[in-house]
Structure 1
Amino acid sequence: MLELWRLGYFVAVAEEENVGRAATRLGVSQSPLSQRIRELEAGLGLALFHRERKRLRLTADGRRFLDQARTLLAHAAAVEQQAHAAGRGEGGRLAMGFVEGAVHAGVLGRALRRFRQDRPGVGIELRAMRSGDQVQALRDGALDVGHIYTPPADGLRIAQVAEEPYRLAIPADHPLAAEGDLVEARLDGEAFIALPERGNPQARAEWIAACRATGFTPDVRVEAIEPATILGLVAAGVGLAMVQESLAATAPAGVVLRDLPAFPLRMRVYAAVSENGSAAAQAYFEIAVA
């Protein structure tokens, strides 16, 4: 396999058409340079130069090889530049997981906007994923950055980046929607729409505990993931739901949102990155938590 330095020697000699001038340009001795060129020709089985008294002229094979050598050297330089940029967090690609709450709270959009301004050369691949799946993907190296609801106990850099209260979404034609002072105990046994327990059993347990602490036990009849789907089901009269406050602006007609001041749970989103993640991943994490 050809070493890149040999190609560099050949290009210098071809451009100078003189070994002495090429040696000065390269900062090497003339005699070893001549030997390296002869070794290159022997290795290729080609005569690259016509040798005259004080001048070397490229053969037809030499001209073709010069074009190829320049292309290879330019490609190698580009690869090296890209590697250096990735090492500084200025290039490469980030695989980024997120939960819907990060989008609606605005944290994902704000962080991405700042990151793109600071590091426009980094490509972004966004993946909507459950928190548990993101944590596993981060640990496996399949994901660079995550935005999750439930942080793991250890193994990742974690920081909270968003927090919002929950509001109660009620079908507009439900009797509770018209009550002036909502009594939490009236919610006991009402049909609720909730996030799937299988995807995050810890989050479901915390939510049930918060409901009970508020004075009611929800009867979960339907499970759904997408906030838009949940609100659509509420509007259709399927049940009640607890949704993050920032969804109020996008709630469809047929949904009434009420405050539950006694409800202790908050919607929290955390940024997560591997301790040994890339420079770009660490840079995004710092921007997200700033």
Structure 2
Amino acid sequence: MMDCSAMNMGFKRSPPPFLAVANRTNNQVFRGLLGANFASAGSGILDTTGSSIIPLSQQVAQFAAVQRNISARVSQGAAGAVLSRSLFLLSTGGNDLFAFFARNSTPSDADARRFVANLVSLYQNHVKALYVLGARKFAVIDVPPIGCCPYPRSLHPLGACIDALNELARGFNKGLRDAMRGLGSSFQGLKYSVGSSHAVVQSIMKHPQRLGFKDTTNACCGSGRFNGKSGCTPNATLCGNRHEYLFWDLLHPTHAASKVAAAAIYNGSLHFAAPVNFRQLVEDQQC
């Protein structure tokens, strides 16, 4: 969805990896015409989520290094102006919830609330750190109903969505909305939009054919039940009509689904992005 979001903003493709711009002169970056990508596949809000990946805390640290590089090459005022107009796109949390569920598939309500509260608090701290470094516009994407991915479905005796995972996602999303609302009212000049991938996926699952989808339960590429027992490997079963599938593999959406989600979040109603959509946040010139 990040690629599609970048294209909705007018870019031909996603910004290059930060290492491509961190230590070299790039006038497009310094003039605010090109961004940088700090993302790491499989990472999360917690430093312990995933393996051999770069968690959000280190991604923020990497941005700090790039920010210093920009400030060293242009005036402090010019650097601040570039950063304040830039959009900081954040999409994380799902991997942390999966990791928690893997450790405890039947958490108590109290355990789940404590975990989610800690996760949201850490997320909030990372946003504050980016604000201190000059960020002012935050486009944040929430967590979809991850209990309905093919892999969790493959674990359910009846093939249904895993309620415990979906409850974690709903709790996190509510905490995220509340946290961003609080930051928006407490930090001068901070503007934000929370894009709801959760609402988009629910809409696709409720009315798949209206949006061009025929299969919202099976993965296009994989093996086993719902094609959700393994990833998309060379020996996996591959569908012939991936654009009609919600899920590409055991956990991830297809390009078609990502395109629908990005369009809804960028141009859609408050149901899909609030308090403004991503386009309105991008076009806001008051930062």
Q: Report the TM-score, using the length of structure 2 for normalisation.
A: 0.22
| Bigger relative CO (Cα 8 Å, ≥ 6 apart) | 1
Structure with higher strand content: 1
